Structure 1
Amino acid sequence: MGADRRRSRVLEGYLDTRRAPARPARDAVLVRCQADVTVARSWRLRDVDCCLIEGADVDVVPYRRNAVPRPGADERGIALGFVAAGSMQITQDRHSVTLRRGQVGLYDGLTPFALHSEVPHRYLVAHLRRQVVRLRPEDRDSLMARDLSAFVGAAALGALLATVVEVGEDPMPAAGQHLGDAILACVLAIVAESRGPAVGERSSLLFGELADWLDAHLPDDLSTERLAAEHFLSARYVRKLFADHGTTVTAHIRDRRLERIRDELLAPWNADVPVSAIAARWGMRDPSAFSRAFTRQFGEAPAGFRSRAVRRPRDPAG
């Protein structure tokens, strides 16, 4: 057998769309390939960082300079893979799945994984932060590096990502926000399908009712106790109900408020409204606590987020 002529390289920052020049990349992989891989495109859709990679005959594994992960490393969260052309094998925790064109797969960015392809391919990899996709331990075992083709959510996600790749250009900020939401909705649908009837239809309906009530009262002073009292439930039961759905009442309220605030920061009619006033409008009245929560959730301070969105050039034809 001839010698392996493939060479190795470290690919850093291919998913880190918020990377600053002086800051180390949040992501890095070691790539072995005969013909160098090409990052055809990188872009961001709300909470989803995307990268389209083209190559052939590759093996990919995570790369870390330090044995001990740096603070914030868990932000890497879940990786979503989509094959736009060719095929890609994902291996993690002794599980392995080969994705064909149009198929999607999930793997954990913190746990060792391996990607392998012997054919020319176009592979989209997306990063979903842990704050927006909360998985139970059993979810990881049933979804990471597994065949997801039986799930309706996976079929919908594959069709959506195929369209995103084919368009070939970054959407305007408002459209990108909604596309990111759609990707996350499909992933959450896959998670819900994988859990089957364990949570129970009645429990799911009640959770939806409570979540809708919270959405309608986000500007108010909210707590688990108030939510329980408004629906004639015990606080203990409400806590368990939210835990069964992978979250807490406090986290759900915070995340929904931050989403509303982020949307309002993008609205042109709010350009002259102070960030703190928009936050207070949605029940986050402590500017320091709000700024920390926003930065932790979205990777940048609210003022910087608004400034970056405003500076983005508009389509002359629009």
Structure 2
Amino acid sequence: MQVLINTDDVPAGERFGLFRDAFLHELTPAEVRCDRPTGFSGRVASADLGLVTLLTMSTRNAGPGELVRDPKLIRRSDPEGYRLTFNQRGSSVLTHNGHRSTLLPGDFTLIDTSRPYEWSASGTNDSLVVRFPRELLRLPGAAVHRLIGAPLCGRTGIGALLSAAITRATRDFDGYRPGDVLRASTTLLNLLGGVLAHELDTHTALPPESHREVLFQRIQRFIQHRLDDPTLSPKTIAAAHHIAPRTLHLLFQDHDDTVAGYIRGRRLEHCRRDLGDFTLRERPIHAIAARWGFTSAAHFSRTFRTAYGLTPQAYRQHSLGRPMR
């Protein structure tokens, strides 16, 4: 990860000023306040995953402190994004979007950069932040609004899965190959969407369009986990979710897609990834196709060439740097 701020690199009397100035010139500027600036130390590092940015932030021996983003700073710069913040160490209080939430270690919350907030912490605090554009979250804004600023649990269930994935991605980032970066960000966004959909599903007063979007997210996850099943079909998917096949097709039509097209696209993505994986270079192409639900090698070859402009064999040779014959 790239270190953006490390106050240990400057004399003690300049540390808080360095930290404060960096936040005022950040992409989403905020004012930093501290009761005991002379005892302050802080560190911020980032990792760019393309679709998302990971940030780690630590403060030490600071006493009570605040991070404030007010309307004036929002007018100065607003990327119109979300920040998912995990509280790893220490306790903090967030006032945002009508909520006043106490965050303990293992809790997380969603921040909308277009809305003012005040974040306060007492003394030592560590947090992880996932920053991403608003449009990448495929959930209705009106529904997500209910969760902005609310405390969410990352210690159990799917929340714990997301917490572990973000922690691992932050720790392992420096060892990622270029192709791994996009895969990691896609995985994190899918998990994040699943967590928020789960939280929305616990609310009973959602409007009909929100229920449809939550159902669509659940069906997408169901398909992703069963791509290796050659019997996966609109009929089996509809039955598993207790809806009519027509309702299933209409859900995908709302997103300018078809059920079969979505399944085929996800299977092809996995096959393309495996064909470009050096560790799988000895695995036969037909075995990779079968692994992801393609029962006919000839059909897979035609479908792959239509999608990517190369046969599976030519794509593998090109990706692994071998001369194409």
TM-score band (shorter)?
0.5 to 0.7
Secondary structure of the corresponding residue to residue 119 of structure 2: strand
- The one-letter amino acid of 2:21's match is R
Secondary structure of the corresponding residue to residue 28 of structure 1: coil
Question: CA offset at residue 182 of structure 1?
Answer: 3.2
Q: 2:218, 2:157 → 1: CA distance?
A: 23
Who is 2:122 aligned against? 118
Q: Are 1:156 and 2:161 counterparts?
A: yes
Who is 2:66 aligned against? 58
Name the CA shift for 1:172/1:29 in 2 (closer, same or farther; >3 Å). same
Which 10-residue stretch deviates more, 187-196 or 145-154? 145-154
Question: Does structure 2 retain, via aligned residues, the 8 Å contact 1:103–1:149?
Answer: yes
Question: CA offset at residue 163 of structure 1?
Answer: 3.6
Who is 1:30 aligned against? 30
Who is 2:107 aligned against? 103
Q: Deviations over 1:154-208 (max 9, x none)?
A: 122223333445x3762313444443233223211212212328748x9659954
Secondary structure of the corresponding residue to residue 143 of structure 1: coil
Question: CA offset at residue 10 of structure 1?
Answer: 5.2
Q: 1:208, 1:127 → 2: CA distance?
A: 23
Question: Does structure 1 retain, via aligned residues, the 8 Å contact 2:55–2:128?
Answer: yes
Q: 2:221, 2:47 → 1: CA distance?
A: 35
- The one-letter amino acid of 1:9's match is D
Q: 1:58, 1:143 → 2: CA distance?
A: 22
Give the percent of matched residue pairs that are identical in Structure 1 and Structure 2.
Answer: 16
Gaps of 5+ in 2: 1-15, 205-210, 229-243, 279-303, 309-325
Question: CA offset at residue 148 of structure 1?
Answer: 1.5
Q: Deviations over 1:85-105 (max 9, x none)?
A: 222322211112222223221
Who is 2:187 aligned against? 182
Secondary structure of the corresponding residue to residue 191 of structure 2: helix
Alignment of 1:1-318 (within 5 A): 9=21, 11=23, 27-34=27-34, 35=37, 38-55=42-59, 56=62, 57-61=65-69, 67=75, 73-74=79-80, 76=81, 78-149=82-153, 152-165=157-170, 167=171, 170-173=174-177, 174-196=179-201, 199=211, 207-208=219-220, 238-240=249-251, 243=254, 247-249=255-257
Q: Deviations over 1:213-251 (max 9, x none)?
A: xx99xxxxxxxxxxxxxxx977x98455565xxx5439x
Gaps of 5+ in 1: 1-5, 15-26, 217-231, 269-280, 286-318
Name the CA shift for 1:170/1:195 in 2 (closer, same or farther; >3 Å). same
Q: 2:217, 2:173 → 1: CA distance?
A: 39
Q: 1:82, 1:42 → 2: CA distance?
A: 15
Q: Deviations over 1:110-167 (max 9, x none)?
A: 22222211221122221122232123244223321112128722122223333445x3
Question: Does structure 1 retain, via aligned residues, the 8 Å contact 2:50–2:185?
Answer: yes
TM-score of the superposed pair, with normalisation by structure 1: 0.55
RMSD of equivalent CA atoms = 5.2
- The one-letter amino acid of 2:23's match is L
